[in-house]
Structure 1
Amino acid sequence: MPSKIYSMSFAKIYPLLVQKVVRKGRLPEEADAVISLLTGYSSEEIHAACEANVDYSTFFANAPHYHEHADALKGRVCNVRVETIEEPLMKQIRQLDLLIDLLAKGKSLEAITSLFGE
């Protein structure tokens, strides 16, 4: 059974991602940079997806260039190890959550980039 989050509007989720990092003293542009790193969307494309009211599933399905080393990401989100999630879309969603969490916890963009094991 698909998760309810799949059909949620990206325009509703995006501000929550940004708020999470801003509350910890980071910039909205840093949230965009992390989203871009994982999905290949530019900041302008991220904002256009919000304006177009695409759902979260479509946002990931239309990602210009999902990071080829995303499977190297390891960590916990909501007490679930990201690397053990089998459903592809939920794994992508949780990978983004993980990166946003790390940014909010003070990791630099360079440190986050290095998590891809390149």
Structure 2
Amino acid sequence: MSTREISKLLFTTVYPLYVQKAERKNRTKEEVDTIICWLTGYSRAQLNHHTAVIIDFQRFFDQAPAIHPNSSQIKGVVCGIRVEDIQDPITQKIRYLDKLIDELAKGRPMDKILRQ
């Protein structure tokens, strides 16, 4: 998927898939929300707003209050590509989020997911 295509995906559509993936592995929506808020700086209320309106990933990340400074510690492979090597900033942030949700689904403890 090209950079342009991935940034135009609707966060509103993908968010429930993140929650479903977590819940299938006995994790919770609250944990998904914690991860998203940690990465983006959104409050729970702001996140709830963004899950209720139609917004693509480009705008979702452009409007984010502050990407967490420890996000650069997110390493690994998503869809066969190392997230730390992605050049496009929006694509990298989307893949950071994908990687964090993958870690949650694999049972990794929250303190490690949140790079604490």
TM-score, with structure 2 as normaliser = 0.91
Counterpart in 2 of 1:76?
Answer: 77
Percent of aligned positions that are identical: 41
Matches within 5 A, 1:12-23: 12-23=13-24
Distance 2:26 2:73 in 1: 27
Unaligned runs of 5+ residues in structure 1 are: none
Counterpart in 1 of 2:93?
Answer: 92
Letter matched to residue 67 of structure 1: H
Distance 2:90 2:97 in 1: 11
Q: State the 1:103 CA deviation.
A: 0.5
Letter matched to residue 10 of structure 2: S
Counterpart in 2 of 1:50?
Answer: 51
Distance 1:39 1:30 in 2: 14
CA root-mean-square deviation: 1.4
Distance 1:24 1:2 in 2: 29
Q: Deviations over 1:82-107 (max 9, x none)?
A: 11111111000000000000000001
Paired residue secondary structure (1:3): helix
Q: State the 1:69 CA deviation.
A: 2.3
Letter matched to residue 18 of structure 2: L
Counterpart in 2 of 1:24?
Answer: 25
Letter matched to residue 59 of structure 1: F
Paired residue secondary structure (2:30): helix
Paired residue secondary structure (1:69): helix
Q: State the 1:50 CA deviation.
A: 2.0
Counterpart in 2 of 1:106?
Answer: 107
Distance 2:64 2:24 in 1: 27
Distance 2:3 2:114 in 1: 30
TM-score, with structure 1 as normaliser = 0.90
